């Protein structure tokens, strides 16, 4: 083999072990799950003993009211928390992107909720939402208001877990947005400042457009994670009252452990995987569209300038 050909293959030799580990750790479980979704399989059987049912698990799920309700709750929860967290996280990053005394300590305090284990977060908020001894109802009562059934009412229960998730994961958006802000070219910001742009104009017309690739990736990461939230909801409401807070991850867990329908649970997991893949693809296509539009704008400016 010639030395030039060997040099071209050398990077692939170094990548091969990592690629093999990735294939075993990622592709094998996904393939196993896809195969299981075509079976009538329960935990008392080996997978080879299960009966082949084809697409039955997929078709019957859409006739299952509990699955459709869990999917709808998941969509409401995920898009609500991500939308609010993006606004709050970006606003905090824009507010704290400055040199002030104690700013480092303040930033550290902001990211503390993200470091707490989800089980602890669920227990903490469950106690704060307690109907009689919880801090929220005690505060409302001291002000002359009636108690709110935070976790026992279907509407308030969903709002309660949304508030808890926003409290824990807004720091994740904040820290990524702050890092993106601090990596922006200072020459562009100085030029805008010299042209008379105020803080609001700099934020909306310069900072946020330049941050858009980071914002899209941050939005995607948080949206994927929001679809998989389990521990906090499990501790706070266990999916209740009724099905009002049962997201699809919790429905999958119950189908596999309580109802002992592993094939149906695998089909649900595949539906969730397809949904997340579609969201990921749409986000990347939108990001590519933004980059192409920006490149065309720069080229047009370059052609018109003397």
Identity of the highest mean pLDDT range in 164-168, 209-213, 258-262: 164-168
Would you say residue 244 lies in a domain?
A: yes
- Do residues 113 and 168 make contact, with C-beta atoms less than 8 angstroms apart? yes
Closest alpha carbon to 220 in 284, 128, 265: 284
Overall average pLDDT of the 125-149 stretch? 93
Least confident of 62-66, 229-233, 295-299: 295-299
> What is the per-residue pLDDT for 304?
52
Would you say residue 41 lies in a domain?
A: no
Identity of the highest mean pLDDT range in 14-18, 25-29, 168-172: 168-172
Q: DSSP letter at 134?
A: -
Whether the per-residue pLDDT at 228 is higher than 80: the answer is yes
Q: Tokens at residue 74, please?
A: 């998941």
Would you say residue 19 lies in a domain?
A: no
Provide the strand spans (E) within the chain. Answer: 39-40, 51-52
> What is the per-residue pLDDT for 298?
55
Q: At what angle do helices 262-304 and 208-226 cross, to 10 degrees?
A: 180
Mean pLDDT of the chain: 87
Task: Give the structural domain span for 210.
Answer: 57-299
- Do residues 259 and 267 make contact, with C-beta atoms less than 8 angstroms apart? no
The number of folded domains in the chain is 1
Would you say residue 84 lies in a domain?
A: yes
Would you say residue 280 lies in a domain?
A: yes
For the entire predicted model, the pTM comes to 0.88
Overall average pLDDT of the 253-262 stretch? 91
Would you say residue 4 lies in a domain?
A: no
> What is the per-residue pLDDT for 203?
87
Buried b / exposed e across 142-151, counting CB within 10 Å, b at 16+?
A: eeeeeebbbb
Would you say residue 23 lies in a domain?
A: no
Overall average pLDDT of the 211-224 stretch? 90
Would you say residue 32 lies in a domain?
A: no
Contacts of 193 (CB under 8 A, 6+ apart): 202
Q: Could you read off the pLDDT of 94-118 as tens digits, one per residue?
A: 988 877 777 777 777 888 898 899 9
Residue 67 belongs to a domain with what CATH number? 1.10.3720.10
Overall average pLDDT of the 226-234 stretch? 91
Confidence of residue 74 (pLDDT cuts 50, 70, 90): very high
Q: Tokens at residue 52, please?
A: 């082949």
- Cα 268 to Cα 11, 109, 243: the distances in Å are 39, 38, 16
> What is the per-residue pLDDT for 305?
47
> What is the per-residue pLDDT for 270?
94
Q: Could you read off the pLDDT of 175-198 as tens digits, one per residue?
A: 999 889 988 888 888 888 888 888
Give percent of the chain above pLDDT 70: 94
> What is the per-residue pLDDT for 285?
86
Whether the per-residue pLDDT at 2 is higher than 70: the answer is no
CA 284 to chain centre: 15
């Amino acid at each position: 083999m010639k030395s030039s050909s060997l040099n071209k293959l050398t990077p692939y030799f170094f990548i091969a072990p990592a690629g093999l580990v990735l294939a075993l750790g990622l592709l094998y479980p996904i393939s196993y799950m896809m195969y299981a979704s075509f079976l009538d399989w329960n935990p008392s059987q080996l997978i080879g003993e299960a009966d082949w049912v084809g697409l039955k698990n997929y078709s019957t799920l859409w006739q299952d009211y509990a699955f459709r309700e869990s999917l709808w709750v998941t969509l409401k929860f995920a898009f609500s928390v991500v939308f609010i967290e993006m606004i709050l996280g970006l606003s905090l990053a824009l507010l704290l992107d400055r040199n002030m005394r104690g700013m480092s300590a303040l930033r550290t305090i902001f990211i503390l909720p993200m470091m707490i284990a989800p089980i602890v977060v669920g227990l903490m908020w469950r106690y704060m939402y307690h109907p009689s001894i919880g801090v929220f109802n005690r505060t409302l009562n001291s002000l002359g208001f009636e108690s709110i059934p935070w976790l026992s009412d279907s509407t308030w229960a969903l709002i309660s877990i949304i508030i808890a998730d926003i409290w824990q994961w807004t720091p994740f958006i904040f820290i990524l947005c702050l890092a993106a802000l601090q990596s922006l070219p200072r020459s562009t910001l100085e030029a805008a400042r010299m042209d008379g742009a105020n803080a609001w104009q700099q934020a909306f017309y310069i900072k946020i457009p330049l941050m858009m690739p980071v914002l899209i990736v941050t939005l995607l990461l948080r949206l994927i994670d929001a679809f998989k939230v389990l521990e906090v909801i499990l501790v706070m409401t266990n999916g209740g009252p009724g099905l009002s807070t049962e997201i699809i991850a919790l429905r999958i867990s119950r189908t596999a452990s309580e109802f002992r329908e592993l094939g149906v649970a695998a089909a649900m997991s595949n539906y969730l995987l397809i949904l997340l893949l579609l969201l990921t693809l749409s986000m990347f296509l939108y990001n590519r569209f933004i980059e192409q539009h920006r490149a065309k704008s720069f080229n047009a400016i370059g052609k018109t300038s003397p």
